[in-house]
Amino acid sequence: MKSLFLVGFLLTTVALGDYAWIPKPETLVLKTGWELFKTENNYDSLGTKSDLTTNNVASSLSQNQVFLDAEYGLGDQWSGVFRTSFLSAQVEALNSGFSSLSGSGLFDTHLGFKWQFKREKPVLALEAGLILPPYSTKNLGTEELALGDGVSGGQLRVHAGTQVKKFSFSISPGLLFRFGRFSHQALLDAAVSLVLKKFYFRLFQSSQFSMTKDSAGNQGAENAEPGSGGSFSRLATNPDLINLGLKVGAFLSPRFKLETSASQTVWGQSASDGFRIGVALITNLDFSTPDHREPIQEVPLNGE
């Protein structure tokens, strides 16, 4: 039974485009869950943290997100990746609790493929994908909050991972190409996981660094873009950001796993300082057809 849980761990915890492992052929890994993000501060372009203000009023931004991640094993070395979500967000004045801006709708959709070109330790994979926003940030109403940056993009990542007894390690450098006035970004994700019988713990970090920076005349702590609500969590043209977090999961069965997560921003420039909590159910669905045919006995050439 312990080996079954370990196999389930390898097939699911490192799937969904985060690491180098992929599901086995004809296996679908689904991750459905909810996340809450909240911020009351911004980092300006010099990295100084200040209170979030909307129209010079101290405010907070909160958003609830229901998401679906999927990764399907297309072959021994290939998988397809899909992510979509529904997001609801609002900006409130801290003193009065009055909501000044709000918005809800489908959030960015991610489509991609992953190729595991090295299957021995350390495992290596290449992932390429597209980001498609199903919403617009143009012509927003005076009380309408932008759901995100609203810009399409492309992503290229290299995933590396290995396992040492009960520990697994991963690192994923990459590039994010954003179009329009938004800066391209360098990405770096890393994690270390520990499995203890029916539970696992994962420390992780995610980072993004813009390739162009704000000019000296654009170093304020409030995002002036219409629809941003004053926060750099959306419509930030060139943010830098580092987040640290912890995931704790439980193996409910070889097919199902329950996971909780929490993360906090530790540094940024032209970015928001916030925390994120969430819970998710991960399901492993095997659509392969078992081979029930009786094995054919080989006959030696000499007839013996």
Which CATH number do you get for residue 92? 2.40.160.40
For 23-80, how does the pLDDT look when each residue is reduced to its tens digit (9 = 90+)? 999 999 999 999 999 999 999 988 999 999 998 889 999 999 999 999 999 999 999 9
161 in a domain, yes or no?
yes
294 in a domain, yes or no?
no
Domain that holds residue 78: 2-285
Residue 161 in contact with residue 169, Cβ under 8 Å?
yes
pTM of this prediction exceeds 0.85: yes
301 in a domain, yes or no?
no
**pLDDT > 90: percent of the chain:** 76
Query: Does the bond joining 239 to the residue before it have cis omega, within 30 degrees of 0?
Result: no
- pLDDT confidence of residue 110: 97
103 in a domain, yes or no?
yes
pLDDT(239) > 80: yes
The whole-angstrom separation of Cα 92 and Cα 97 is 5
The pair of three-digit structure tokens given for residue 5, joined into one six-digit string = 């849980």
Residue 219 in contact with residue 44, Cβ under 8 Å?
yes
234 in a domain, yes or no?
yes
Number of domains in the chain: 1
Given pLDDT bands bounded at 50, 70 and 90, which one contains residue 301? low
Residue 182 in contact with residue 176, Cβ under 8 Å?
no
116 in a domain, yes or no?
yes
Given pLDDT bands bounded at 50, 70 and 90, which one contains residue 2? very low
Average pLDDT score over the chain: 88
* 51 HSE (CA, 13 A, CB side): 9
Q: Which residue has better confidence, 4 or 264?
A: 264
Given pLDDT bands bounded at 50, 70 and 90, which one contains residue 151? very high
290 in a domain, yes or no?
no
> Which of 54-58, 157-161, 217-221 is most confident?
157-161
- pLDDT confidence of residue 12: 33
Find the mean pLDDT for residues 245-266.
Answer: 96
104 in a domain, yes or no?
yes
Nearest to 229 by CA among 49, 97, 48, 59: 59
- pLDDT confidence of residue 95: 82
